[in-house]
Amino acid sequence: MIRKLTRQMLTAQIFAALTVSLCLMIDSVMISRFLGEEAIAAYGLSNPVLLVIGALGSLLASGIQAACSKSLGRGSQEETNAGYSSALAVGGCVSVAFMVIVLLLSSPLANFMGAGSEGGFFEKTRDYLRGFSIGAPASMGALVLVPFLQMAGQTGILITAVLTMTVADVALDILNVFVFHGGMFGMGLASSVSYYLAMLISGFYFLSKKCVFHFSWKLVSGKKISELFRGGIPAGVGMITSVILVFVLNKILTFRGGSQAIAAYSVIMTIGNASNCISTGVGGVSLTLSGIFYNEEDRTSLRELFRQMCRYGVILGLAVGGILLLIAPAFVSLFIPNAGDTQRMAVLGARLFAIGLIPCCFNNAFKNMYQGTERVRLTELISVVEGTLFPILSALVCSAFMGANGVWLNFGLGELLTLVSICVYIRWKTGSMPWKEDACLMLDRDFGVRGDCLMEATIASMEEVARVVKQAEAFCLEHGQSAKVSNHIALCIEEMAGNIIQHGFSADKKKHHLSVRVISKGERWVLRFRDDCRAFDPVHYIPDEGKVALGIRLVLAIADEANYTYSLNLNNLTLKLRAN
C-alpha cells in the first residue's frame, strides 16, 4: 500500500511544485524571445523579490503538511479542520499585505535589487514586480491549497488547475506581446491572471459538499496559526536561503561576467527550478507521510517510506538529469535564440545543474523526514548548509579559477557536500552507516510499538477476514486479556473488515488494499483499519431507509473511542478499547 500511496502522492507533489515554476519559466521564455536581453536581465533581478511570496507560501504549506499530518496520524478531523481554517485566514492576510507593499514600493525595490533609479532597465524591473505582485493572493492560495487537495486525494483537480494555469499563461503572454504591447508589466500580469484561474478551478472543490475539510471562523486561532508557522519554519528557512543565494550569486556574476552572466543565470535558474520539482515532490511526500507514520509510532512504515523516496529519487534524478544533459541546447534556445556567449554559458550551466539532481532528492528526503519525525533543528541546519553555505563557497572558489562559468557548479557541489555531511552525521550519531537497517531514521531505540505488542495483517478476502479474526483473538488471549475483551476485539475486526470487503472492495473493479493493526498499549487496545476504497465514515454514518447497520452500531458501542479521517485517498478508522 505504501508503494502505491507514494507513487500517487509523488505525482501530485511534482505537479504542485510546478504551479509557481511553470509561470516563471513561461515568462522567462516569452520575455527573452520577444522583449530582449535587457528584459530577461531585469526579470532575473526581480526574482529574489518574487521568491519572497514563494517562501511565505512554502512556509505555510510546509506547516500545513507538518501540523495536519500529526492530526491525521492521531485521527482528529476537527483538529485538521482547525488547521485548514487557520491556514486560509492567515494566507489571505499575508498575501494581500505582500501585494500592497510591493505595489507601493516597487521603485525602491527595483533600485535595491541593482536596476538603478531610472532608465529602461529600471523601468522593466519595476514594471514586472508590479504586474506579478497583483497575483500574490492567488499564488499564495495555490501553495496553501495544494496540501489539502493532496490530503483529500483530489489529484485530478490539482492536475487540471496546473494545466489550465499553464495554457492561460502562454496565451496571455502571446496576447500581451502581439496585441496589448504591455511590456514587462503585461508579462507579470499574465502570470497573475493565470494563478487566479487555477485558484478558481480549485475553488469548485473546496466550496462543494464533497470537500472533506470544513472552514469555520470559530476554528481560526492564534495557537493553530502559531503551530502552522512553527511547522513551516524549516521550509521558510530553505526558501530564505534560496533568496539569499540568488542575491549573492547575482553579485558574484555581476563582478565576473556582467549582464550577460546575469541573463544566463536567470535562464539556468528557471530551467533548474522546473527540473527541481522532482526533489520538491520527494520532500513533500516524505514530510506528509513521515508525520503520519511517526504519530502512529509505525517504525516499519517509516523505513519503507524512506526506501521508496530514495528509489524514486534515483529514478527521477537519472531521467530528468539525462534529458537535461541531452537537450540543454534546445531548451536554452527557447530563452536565448541567438548563438553567443550568453547562450553558451546557459547551456553549460543547465548541464552542470543535472549533476545535483539525485543528491538533491536524497537531501530533501532526509530533511523533510527529520521534520516529520520532530527533529526540526536538524532540518533547519540542513537547509542552511544546503541552501547557502556550500553553494556560496562552491561559487566563490570555482569562479576564482573558472570565472563566471565556475558559478554554475554551485548547485551540484553544494548538494553533494550536503549529502556527504548528512551521512557523516548519521555515522557519528548512530555508529552505523546510513544504509544499514533504519540508521538513517535516527529514531530512539524505544520508539514505536514493541514487536510482541503489535499484530499487523493485510486482508483481501472474506476468508482472510476469518483467519485474522482468529489470529487477533489468540493474540489478545496471549497478552493476558479476558475472553470478553478478546472477543470484543475479534468482533470489531470481523464487522469492520467484513464491511470493507463486502461493500468497499466490490464498489468498483479496481484492486483494493486493507491493512489492520492491533496494538496493546497497557491499559488500552488500539485497532486501526486503513483501506483505499471510496470515502466512507462509519463513525457518523446514517443508514438509508430500510437499513439498520447493526454491525457498525455494535462496534461503536463496544469501542470507548472511535476516530475517522479520510486523507490521501485512504479511509482511516481508529478504535480504542479498555483492557481488563
> 248 CB contacts (<8 Å, ≥6 apart)?
388, 392, 395
> 173 CB contacts (<8 Å, ≥6 apart)?
26, 27, 30, 187, 190
> 132 CB contacts (<8 Å, ≥6 apart)?
46, 50, 188, 189, 191, 192
The grid coordinates listed for 579 are 483492557
* Domain C-terminal end among 398, 418, 448: 448
Q: Which of 24, 293, 274 is nearest to 173 (CA)?
A: 24
Q: Rounded distance, CA 253 to CA 395, Å? A: 10
**Domain identity same for 247 and 396:** no
pLDDT at 172: 92
Q: Rounded distance, CA 280 to CA 361, Å? A: 8
Identify the domain containing residue 74 by its residue range: 19-253
Q: Rounded distance, CA 419 to CA 425, Å? A: 10
Query: Which of 551-564 are b and which e, b meaning 16 or more Cβ less than 10 Å from the residue's Cβ?
Result: bbeebbebbeebbb
Q: What does DSSP assign to residue 543?
A: P
Q: Which of 342, 42, 331, 25 is nearest to 166 (CA)?
A: 25
Is 565 inside a domain boundary? yes
Is 14 inside a domain boundary? no
> 451 CB contacts (<8 Å, ≥6 apart)?
none
Q: Rounded distance, CA 84 to CA 571, Å? A: 19
The grid coordinates listed for 434 are 546510513
Q: Do 91 and 53 touch, CB atoms closer than 8 A?
A: no
Q: Rounded distance, CA 281 to CA 207, Å? A: 26
**Domain identity same for 440 and 553:** no
**Domain identity same for 495 and 458:** yes
| 169 alpha-carbon distance from chain centroid | 23
**Domain identity same for 301 and 421:** yes
The grid coordinates listed for 556 are 461503536
**Domain identity same for 479 and 423:** no
Is 98 inside a domain boundary? yes
**Domain identity same for 474 and 375:** no
pLDDT at 19: 63
**Domain identity same for 70 and 216:** yes
Q: Rounded distance, CA 383 to CA 119, Å? A: 38
What's the average pLDDT block by block, 10 residues per block, for the chain (580 residues)?
Answer: 74 71 72 81 80 78 78 76 90 92 92 85 92 91 82 79 85 91 91 90 86 87 86 75 82 80 82 84 84 79 87 92 90 80 87 91 91 85 90 90 86 92 90 81 74 82 90 88 89 90 83 87 85 83 64 87 80 84
pLDDT at 20: 60
User: How many other C-beta atoms lie within 10 A of the C-beta of residue 201?
Assistant: 16
Is 5 inside a domain boundary? no
Q: Do 327 and 242 touch, CB atoms closer than 8 A?
A: no
**526: β partners:** 519, 576
Q: Do 137 and 99 touch, CB atoms closer than 8 A?
A: yes
| 66 alpha-carbon distance from chain centroid | 10
Q: Strand (E) positions, 358-505?
A: 454-459
Pairing of strands 454-459, 514-521: antiparallel
**Domain identity same for 97 and 34:** yes
**Domain identity same for 573 and 501:** yes
Is 199 inside a domain boundary? yes
Q: What does DSSP assign to residue 436?
A: S
Q: Rounded distance, CA 178 to CA 27, Å? A: 15
Q: Do 48 and 246 touch, CB atoms closer than 8 A?
A: yes
> 443 CB contacts (<8 Å, ≥6 apart)?
299, 302, 373
Q: Rounded distance, CA 497 to CA 121, Å? A: 67
Residue owning grid cell 565556475? 406
Query: Which of 106-131 are b and which e, b meaning 16 or more Cβ less than 10 Å from the residue's Cβ?
Result: bbebbbebbbeeeeebbbbbbbbbbb
> 460 CB contacts (<8 Å, ≥6 apart)?
501, 505, 513, 514
* Ordered DSSP codes for 56-68: HHHHHHHHHHHHH
Total domains in the fold of the chain: 3
**Domain identity same for 216 and 280:** no
Q: Rounded distance, CA 331 to CA 324, Å? A: 8
User: Distance of CA 524 to CAs 273, 299, 457, Å?
Assistant: 49, 20, 20
Please give the single-letter amino acid code of residue 391. P
* Domain C-terminal end among 389, 424, 448: 448
Please give the single-letter amino acid code of residue 435. W
Is 1 inside a domain boundary? no
How large is the C-alpha radius of gyration of the chain?
26
User: Which CATH number fits the domain that encloses residue 554?
Assistant: 3.30.565.10
**Domain identity same for 118 and 40:** yes
**Domain identity same for 284 and 372:** yes
Is 13 inside a domain boundary? no
* Domain C-terminal end among 426, 448, 470: 448
Is 283 inside a domain boundary? yes
The grid coordinates listed for 567 are 486523507
Q: What backbone phi and psi angles, to 5 degrees, belong to 446?
A: -95, 10
User: How many other C-beta atoms lie within 10 A of the C-beta of residue 2?
Assistant: 18
